[in-house]
Amino acid sequence: MESSSALVVGSDEEARVALSRQLDGAGFSTMTAASGEQALEIIDKTGITLVLCDWSMTGMSGSEFCARLRSSSKERYVYFIFFGGSSDTSAQQALEAGADDFISKTVANEELGVRLQSATRIIELQDKLAARNDFLEYAYASVTTDLKIAAKVQEDLLPRQFRLAGLDTNWVFKPANFVAGDMFDYFPMGDDYFVFYILDVEGHGIASALTSFAINNQLNPSSHGICAKSVKHNDELSDAVTSTVNNLNLQFEGNLNSSRYFTMVFGIVEVSTGNVTLTQAGHPAPIHLQKASGQAISLGDGGMPVGLIKDASYSSVNCSLKSGDRLYLYSDGMIECENVHGEFYGSERLLNRIQEWRDLPIEELGDLFDGEITHWNGSETFDDDVSMVILEYTGKR
């Protein structure tokens, strides 16, 4: 075992020399100091792991020296032994001052050897703990760096907030951790279709995010994606949206290593007419805000989450958007967000806010809902992922 370093501190030179010899014999590399001030300087410059200090030093007292040593931010733990009077009161005072042990000046060599063996075991354990903590700090820093990169990748996958002929868009995205199990996207397909979806993988964090990445890849707008194939192979939009979700259910049911399922809303807007066809799969119901009446209507009646049951079936829901109408899609992290009193934000409050802000430009709504839910939550740290997509129909092209 590598030799540990020790320091004997005291005004009595004879006592210092006697103890240092005993420590040398026990395998320690020993130094001495005549005062607390000198001892603190030595400890600052060396890797001292054990201190034996005279309880009744002149100048800086032993208890003051111990307190200053304990209050300093040392990377290594220093095992501290007081030596001095033999009364129980002195021993209690020594331990209360921050020492690990107390011995009398007249203690036998055999007893001192046993005390030093105990000190050595604790020092070794402290060294192992420090090494483990160093490794954990390194591992945490490495994982944090990777998660930040993954969060940036996920952010890059989110759609741009753009204006399309016939549609305007905006959204809110607040992961509970670095990465989220929530995901959404929207994109034009062909000359007259606008595809949109929002999904929420069970749980949150890395495992959920990886699943959401996989689903997003399946739903990409390329000619090889499920969306394009469903539109191409089904004449009716209702068949196209239900076929898409059915295909996802077949692919993900029983194939997820973590057995994670997900909820989603998937739909298509026929831009020339404003007709919307969507499927709700266990996700909170979308809200159709009618510009003319100011009425906010929930669409759909539930549906089965995707990846939960192999033979699940899905139905479509239809609505017609007029110029200025809006469609809100959101995750349960929005309505189940709790304030400091444990109260949910709730569907009713969300409906009221959607109606209250119906005349505001869609460009302002993302920031408004972001601030609203953050204020309700009471901090930037959320217990669940929060996401919202806002679509506004601006009329025929």
Q: Give Cα 178 distance to the centre of its chain.
A: 6
5-132 CATH: 3.40.50.2300
Cβ atoms of 334 and 383 within 8 Å: the answer is no
What pLDDT is recorded for position 1?
43
When comparing pLDDT for 294 and 156, which is higher?
Answer: 294
What pLDDT is recorded for position 92?
78
What pLDDT is recorded for position 299?
92
Largest CA distance in the chain: 102
- Per residue, the 3-state secondary structure of the chain, as one string, reads CCCCEEEEECCCHHHHHHHHHHHHHCCCEEEEECCHHHHHHHHHHCCCCEEEEECCCCCCCHHHHHHHHHHCCCCCCCEEEEEECCCHHHHHHHHHCCCCEEEECCCCHHHHHHHHHHHHHHHHHHHHHHHHHHHHHHHHHHHHHHHHHHHHHHHHHCCCCCEECCEEEEEEEECCCCCCCEEEEEEEECCCEEEEEEEEECCCCHHHHHHHHHHHHHCCCCCCCHHHHHHHHCCCHHHHHHHHHHHHHHHHCCCCCCCCCEEEEEEEEECCCCEEEEEEEECCCCEEECCCCCCEEECCCCCCCECCCCCCCCCCEEEECCCCCEEEEECHHHHCCECCCCCECCHHHHHHHHHHCCCCCHHHHHHHHHHHHHHHHCCCCCCCCEEEEEEEECCCC
Q: How would residue 89 be classed by pLDDT, with cut points 50, 70 and 90?
A: low
- Where do we find the tokens 């749980």? 203
Domain(s) of CATH 3.40.50.2300: residues in the chain: 5-132
- What are 262-285's pLDDT values in tens digits? 999 999 999 999 999 999 999 999
Q: Above 70 in pLDDT, residue 119?
A: yes
- 310 closest CA partner among 253, 247, 261, 258: 253
What pLDDT is recorded for position 125?
87
**To the nearest whole percent, how much of the chain has pLDDT over 70?**
93
- Where do we find the tokens 């001192």? 112
What pLDDT is recorded for position 331?
95
Which amino acid belongs to residue 221?
P
Cα(76)–Cα(50) distance, rounded to whole angstroms? 11
Taking each helix axis as running N to C, give the angle between helix 62-71 and helix 88-96, from 0 to 180 degrees, rounded to the nearest 10. 30
**To the nearest whole percent, how much of the chain has pLDDT over 90?**
43
Q: Above 70 in pLDDT, residue 259?
A: no
158-393 CATH: 3.60.40.10
Domain(s) of CATH 3.60.40.10: residues in the chain: 158-393
Q: Give Cα 296 distance to the centre of its chain.
A: 34
What pLDDT is recorded for position 87?
56
User: What does the pLDDT average to over 317-331?
Assistant: 96
Structure tokens at 253: 């049911």
Torsion of CA 57, 61, 65, 71, to 10 degrees: 170
Report for 78-82, 145-149, 256-260, 393-397: range of highest mean pLDDT:
78-82
Average pLDDT, the chain: 86
Cα(220)–Cα(212) distance, rounded to whole angstroms? 12
- What are 229-246's pLDDT values in tens digits? 888 888 899 999 999 999
